[in-house]
Amino acid sequence: MSVPTTSLPGTMRAWVVARPGPLETRPLRLVELPVPEPGPGELLVRVLACGVCRTDLHVTEGDLPVRRPRVVPGHEVVGEVVAVGPTPERPDARRPAADGTLAVGDRVGVAWLRHTCGECAYCRRGAENLCPRSRYAGWDADGGYAEYTTVPAAFAYRLPEAYDDVDLAPLLCAGIIGYRALRRASLPDGGRLGLYGFGGSAHLTAQVALAQGATLHVLTRGTKAQELARRLGASSARGAYDDPPEPLDAAILFAPVGDLVPVAMRALDRGGVLAVAGIHLSDVPELVYETELFYEKELRSVTSNTRDDGRELLGFAADHPLDVDAHPYPLDRADEALADLKAGAFAGAAVLVP
């Protein structure tokens, strides 16, 4: 490990998923853990801000199976590199580091995807998001609900300078996944886009789509979310089960509610595409072929993202200032931030600040 610029403490505060279950059973515990050591090719990062994502709620409540007992959640980390792990003995030529020049003092982003194999058929064809050996921050490895975390340098992002730490954090999952979902939805130029659910990811995706010339209709419960949608430029904002004012060329389902799939499919125009953005969705009811699939309507899922998606979104954000609706919480109140997310207490994204 290279010598850090400031001496590091031995331990840190971190939240662990002690026993996955409903939030009411207090599955998260705030504990004292050793500050992690960066392995070969890894960076040790002092967390400056960590976004609270719906996936953290799925990991905490057990909707996603346990992959690492007592994992520290969090995969939207903005942090400062404080140490660099040893150089790997056998550098992998197939996997050029995203940025081999990251050094102590740099501000970096740690996102959901933290490892892919680099050699399977999916990785080789540029679809590393489908790699069967992929690993994820805050699920397979400890993430950012802590004062420090580690990240393989090849999976760390450089960040646009014009944003502060708290505003950058939600871009690292909410922003990136929404960006991929928008691409998966194949919205034609100047097309009509419907967003079902309007939270951390949707409010960023909306701005990307509007900047690209889309007409936007938002379908979501909650007046706060509808107000935010209108303020950001949506042409209409209605209830999640309402009809949009015109047929949609594409739609993205952000709410983890399978019941909305047929609703959104019916709202599509001929040839329209619905992309489901979430990692977890309640069961999809039976679809009616004639009204919900015929005329070449398509239903697509979105699985994680590639590093290219991440770099593209961050590049877009550097050129088009995004209005991030961030709600800061002190690290000690992560459980409260998750409860507020679950309850829909805010429209945008919660961000933990150590």
Smallest distance, Å, CB 276 to Zn ion?
Answer: 15
Judged by CB under 5 A, does residue 229 bind Zn ion? Answer: no
Note whether 111 binds Zn ion by CB under 5 A.
no
* Segment lying near Zn ion (by CB under 5 A), choices 10-18, 116-124, 143-151, 313-321: 116-124
Nearer to Zn ion, 112 or 196 (CB): 112
Residue 247 CB, nearest approach to Zn ion (Å): 31
- Alpha-helix runs per DSSP H in 79-143: 121-124
Q: Does 55 bind Zn ion (CB under 5 A)?
A: yes
Which of 195, 247, 251, 245 shows the shortest CA–CA distance to 220?
195
Q: Which residues contact 296 (CB under 8 A, 6 or more apart)?
A: 270, 271
Residue 197 or 262: the one with the smaller Cβ distance to Zn ion is 197
**Residue 57 buriedness (CB in 10 A; 0-12 / 13-18 / 19+):** buried
Count CB atoms within 10 A of the CB of residue 62.
15
Identity of the residue, 3 or 93, whose beta carbon is nearer to Zn ion in the bound complex: 93
* Distance in Å, CB of 336 to Zn ion, minimum: 19
Stretch that binds Zn ion, among 13-21, 169-177, 183-191, 248-256 (CB under 5 A): 169-177
Measured between its terminal Cα atoms, the distance across the chain in Å is: 24
In the range 24-53, which residues lie near Zn ion by CB under 5 A?
53
Nearer of residues 169 and 234 to Zn ion, judged by Cβ: 169
Sign of the C-alpha dihedral computed for residues 267, 170, 278 and 337 taken in this order: negative
Which CB, 41 or 262, lies closer to Zn ion? 41
CB-based contact 220:226 (threshold 8 Å): yes
Among 64, 120, 211, 293, binds Zn ion (CB under 5 A): 120
Give the C-alpha separation, 211 to 317, whole Å: 11
To 5 degrees, how large is the angle CA 67–CA 69–CA 73?
75
One residue of 35, 59, 84, 123 binding Zn ion per CB under 5 A? 123
Assess 252 for contact with Zn ion (CB under 5 A): no
Q: Does 117 bind Zn ion (CB under 5 A)?
A: yes
* Smallest distance, Zn ion to C-beta of residue 72, A: 14
- What is the smallest separation between the CB atom of 136 and Zn ion, expressed in angstroms? 9
Q: How do beta strands 326-330 and 349-353 pair? A: parallel
Binding flag, residue 131, Zn ion (CB under 5 A): yes
Choose one: 5-13, 21-29, 167-175, 217-225; the region binding Zn ion (CB under 5 A).
167-175
Task: Specify the residue, 265 or 351, whose C-beta has the smaller distance to Zn ion.
Answer: 351
Side chain identity, residue 284: V
Q: Of 1-9, 109-117, 246-254, 260-268, which segment contacts Zn ion by CB under 5 A?
A: 109-117
Query: Is 240 in contact with 218 (CB distance < 8 Å)?
Result: no
Residue 339: CB minimum distance to Zn ion, A:
17
Tell me which of 173, 204, 253, 326 binds Zn ion, using CB under 5 A. Answer: 173
d(Cα 257, Cα 121) in Å, to the nearest integer? Answer: 32
Distance CA 181, CA 302 (A): 6
Say what the alpha-carbon torsion angle 116, 117, 121, 123 is, to the nearest 10 degrees: 40
Reference 84, options 147, 156, 172, 159; nearest CA is 156
Nearer to Zn ion, 120 or 287 (CB): 120
Distance CA 184, CA 124 (A): 20
Contact 156, 110 (CB under 8 A): yes
Cβ proximity to Zn ion, 116 vs 226, nearer residue: 116
The answer to the question of residue 169 lying near Zn ion (CB under 5 A) is no
137 touching Zn ion, by CB under 5 A: no
Residues of this chain that bind Zn ion (CB under 5 A): 53, 55, 116-117, 120, 123, 131, 173
